């Protein structure tokens, strides 16, 4: 008689107590959440992980002018150094991103466009800070949010954006 001592959390295969990994899918005994997903659908898991890392990197890059300008505005060089350090280290860690960007003029142009937009938009906000009414400020924030939404929608849904994301996922997994 086959004695079953634990059930795999990923594929529900009954396993013997002597095994530390599932005999069927190799998921570790007692694994849950993130680890289980990894064994249930590896492709989906890696694809999601790649998208998430790409979004973080993109968000950091396009908001970097805001961090930079805030640091300059407040005369806080330590803050500036920290921001710069985190952006650089993130880019160095994210080699797939650098590789894919290096091959895509489109990606570099889109990123530059939004970085410059953010730089100008936030510079104006700081420059005219004293003159801005609450209504004006609200309008600027709305415009910024719309631009963010457009940026991520463009990356996610445009033909070149989809190509970029796929290239990134391929590089990310290899
Ligand atoms: Zn299993």
Q: Is 60 exposed, middle or buried (0-12, 13-18, 19+ CB in 10 A)?
A: middle
For residue 1, the model assigns a pLDDT of 54
For residue 159, the model assigns a pLDDT of 94
Query: What is the widest separation between alpha-carbon atoms in the chain?
Result: 82
Q: CA-CA distance, 174 to 167, in Å (whole number)? A: 11
> Rounded to the nearest whole angstrom, what is the distance from the C-alpha of residue 169 to the centroid of ligand 1?
25
Q: Is the pLDDT of residue 43 over 60?
A: yes
More confident residue, 91 or 171: 171
Q: CA-CA distance, 23 to 10, in Å (whole number)? A: 12
Q: Is the pLDDT of residue 85 over 90?
A: no
pLDDT confidence tier of residue 112, bands split at 50, 70 and 90:
very high
Mean pLDDT score, 93-113 = 90
For residue 132, the model assigns a pLDDT of 80
Average pLDDT, the chain: 87
> Rounded to the nearest whole angstrom, what is the distance from the C-alpha of residue 30 to the centroid of ligand 1?
11
pLDDT confidence tier of residue 3, bands split at 50, 70 and 90:
low
Q: Which residues surround ligand 1, an ion (CB under 5 A)?
A: 8, 10-11, 13, 22, 24-25, 27
- Containing 7, the helix (H) or strand (E) segment is strand 6-7
pLDDT confidence tier of residue 4, bands split at 50, 70 and 90:
low
For residue 95, the model assigns a pLDDT of 86
> Rounded to the nearest whole angstrom, what is the distance from the C-alpha of residue 31 to the centroid of ligand 1?
10
Q: CA-CA distance, 6 to 12, in Å (whole number)? A: 9
> Rounded to the nearest whole angstrom, what is the distance from the C-alpha of residue 109 to the centroid of ligand 1?
45
Burial pattern 1-19, b for ≥16 Cβ within 10 A else e, equals eeeeeeebbbbeeebeeee
> Rounded to the nearest whole angstrom, what is the distance from the C-alpha of residue 7 to the centroid of ligand 1?
8
For residue 39, the model assigns a pLDDT of 93
Q: Is the pLDDT of residue 54 over 80?
A: yes
3 Cβ contact list (under 8 Å, min separation 6)? 16, 17
Percent of the chain with pLDDT over 90: 36
The least confident of 14-23, 84-93, 97-106 is 84-93
CA angle 80, 96, 27 (to 5 degrees): 110
How far is CA 58 from each of CA 10, 66, 141, 142, rounded to the nearest angstrom?
32, 14, 19, 20
Mean pLDDT score, 20-40 = 92
> Rounded to the nearest whole angstrom, what is the distance from the C-alpha of residue 33 to the centroid of ligand 1?
14
Helix axes 159-173, 42-73, angle to 10 degrees: 110
> Rounded to the nearest whole angstrom, what is the distance from the C-alpha of residue 15 to the centroid of ligand 1?
8
Mean pLDDT score, 45-62 = 88
> Rounded to the nearest whole angstrom, what is the distance from the C-alpha of residue 13 to the centroid of ligand 1?
5
How do residues 162-173 score in pLDDT, each as one tens digit? 999 999 999 887
């Amino acid at each position: 008689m086959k004695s079953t001592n634990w059930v795999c959390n990923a594929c529900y295969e009954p396993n013997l107590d002597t095994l530390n990994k599932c005999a069927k899918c190799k998921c570790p005994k007692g694994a849950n959440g993130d680890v289980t997903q990894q064994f249930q659908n590896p492709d989906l898991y890696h694809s999601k992980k790649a998208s998430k890392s790409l979004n973080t990197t993109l968000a950091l890059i396009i908001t970097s002018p805001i961090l930079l300008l805030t640091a300059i505005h407040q005369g806080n060089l330590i803050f500036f150094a920290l921001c710069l350090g985190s952006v650089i280290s993130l880019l160095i860690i994210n080699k797939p991103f650098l590789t894919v960007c290096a091959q895509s003029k489109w990606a570099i142009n889109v990123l530059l466009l939004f970085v410059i937009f953010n730089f100008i938009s936030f510079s104006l906000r700081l420059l005219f800070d004293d003159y801005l009414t609450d209504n004006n400020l609200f309008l600027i924030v709305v415009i910024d949010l719309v631009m963010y939404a457009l940026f991520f929608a463009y990356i996610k849904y445009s033909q070149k954006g989809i190509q970029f994301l796929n290239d990134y996922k391929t590089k990310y997994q290899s």
